[in-house]
């Protein structure tokens, strides 16, 4: 029998949402609907209904609170499952939007405050690029520095484009104006490498988000933050911030600066984490965990069959 000792929980970001994403778990666990009811009451929007409405689910101002609520519902499912096995997560982390889910799970933010924050965050992001042609794309097979250099060249000669997510070695997401991103994609193709355009409504984590970042700072200043009950690694520097001011600053900067997910996963590996549990819809982060320089075993939790594995960690 293998004794699992070092566990971290990670929360996915935008792009993991799917229609009916919580239906299977809702049939088995009442906490799913009660969590959605709690979040819907706080926001004044029926978030459960949004998980079944394709148009609104992919509108970022609704995507963000719906996905956060789904992640927290799963967190409330898995917490007693882990406790029954005498397992307490050593660390939390979240990818982009998922950072807010992690901060709710750690006790820094209430669910009510968090869903309202990310709803406004989504609106600010949309407003920041209103009327612009923008794009995001995943670049595969190049070093981080190569992608950054291509973005700098494109910004000088075509249009604004930045590195947005450092997801794993040889996978970097870029974001910016459509002309800028296209310039980079053409350069990537000329190098014989692959790039995949992403279907997103706004270009996150790039310079175009600076106006949204400034307005987000005003919202965060009005929001009550508490001390974290579980150490949470934030995207901006792949570091744990203890003061509430530092946590807020990292959230503000995160919106217009790249997500340091590769460094976050390496930080977990350096802390001898043996298992990362993906707490939210899908398995995007679990797949990325396999591609890191120091891979960590990962377990998604959005399906009953996957939860069964979680219930028997010491026997696996």
Which residues on adjacent β-strands are paired with residue 165? 173, 259
Which residues on adjacent β-strands are paired with residue 168? 171
Q: How far is CA 245 from the centre of its chain?
A: 21
For the beta sheet containing 91-94, the strands, ordered from the edge strand earlier in sequence to the opposite edge, are: 239-240, 232-234, 91-94, 7-11, 275-278, 297-300
Is 243 an annotated catalytic residue?
Answer: no
CA-closest candidate to residue 132, choices 195, 176, 181: 176
CA distance 243 to 178: 38
Query: Residue 286: CB partners within 8 Å, gap ≥ 6?
Result: 276, 278, 298, 299, 300
Catalytic residue (choose from 95, 119, 205, 241): 205
Alpha-carbon separation of residue 49 from 27, 38, 55, 268, 315 (angstroms): 15, 14, 11, 36, 38
CA-closest candidate to residue 139, choices 193, 218, 90, 63: 193
The Cβ of residue 100 has, within 10 Å, a number of other Cβ atoms equal to 28
CA-closest candidate to residue 258, choices 129, 162, 147, 116: 162
Catalytic residue (choose from 16, 40, 71, 96): 96
**N residues, the chain:** 316
> Quick one: which H or E segment has residue 126?
helix 111-128
> Quick one: which H or E segment has residue 269?
helix 261-270
Burial class (CB in 10 A: 0-12, 13-18, 19+), 290: exposed
> Quick one: which H or E segment has residue 42?
helix 30-43
Is 205 an annotated catalytic residue?
Answer: yes
| Catalytic center residues | 96, 205
């Amino acid at each position: 029998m293998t004794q699992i000792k070092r566990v971290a929980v990670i929360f996915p970001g935008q792009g993991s949402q799917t229609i009916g994403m919580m239906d299977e778990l809702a049939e088995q666990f009442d906490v799913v609907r009660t969590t959605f009811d709690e979040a819907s009451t706080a926001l004044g929007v029926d978030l459960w209904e949004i998980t079944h409405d394709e148009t609104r689910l992919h509108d970022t101002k609704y995507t963000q609170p719906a996905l956060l609520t789904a992640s927290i519902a799963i967190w409330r499912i898995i917490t007693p499952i882990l406790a029954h096995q005498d397992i307490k997560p050593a660390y939390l982390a979240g990818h982009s939007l998922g950072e807010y889910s992690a901060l709710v799970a750690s006790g820094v933010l209430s669910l009510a405050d968090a869903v309202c924050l990310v709803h406004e965050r989504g609106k600010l992001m949309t407003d920041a690029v209103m009327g612009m042609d923008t794009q995001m794309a995943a670049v595969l097979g190049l070093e981080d520095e190569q992608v950054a250099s291509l973005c700098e060249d494109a910004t000088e000669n075509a249009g604004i484009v930045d590195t947005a997510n450092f997801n794993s070695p040889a996978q970097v997401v870029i974001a910016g104006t459509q002309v800028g991103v296209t310039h980079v994609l053409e350069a990537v193709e000329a190098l014989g490498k692959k790039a995949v355009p992403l279907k997103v409504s706004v270009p996150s984590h790039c310079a175009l988000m600076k106006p949204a970042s400034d307005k987000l700072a005003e919202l965060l200043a009005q929001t009550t933050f508490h001390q974290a009950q579980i150490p949470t690694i934030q995207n901006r520097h792949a570091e744990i911030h203890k003061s509430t001011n530092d946590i807020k600053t990292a959230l503000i900067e995160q919106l217009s600066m790249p997500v340091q997910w590769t460094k976050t996963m390496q930080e977990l590996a350096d802390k001898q984490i043996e298992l990362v549990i993906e707490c939210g819809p899908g398995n995007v982060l679990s797949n990325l965990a396999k591609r890191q320089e120091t891979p960590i075993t990962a377990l998604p939790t959005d399906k009953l069959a996957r939860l069964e594995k979680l219930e028997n960690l010491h026997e696996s």
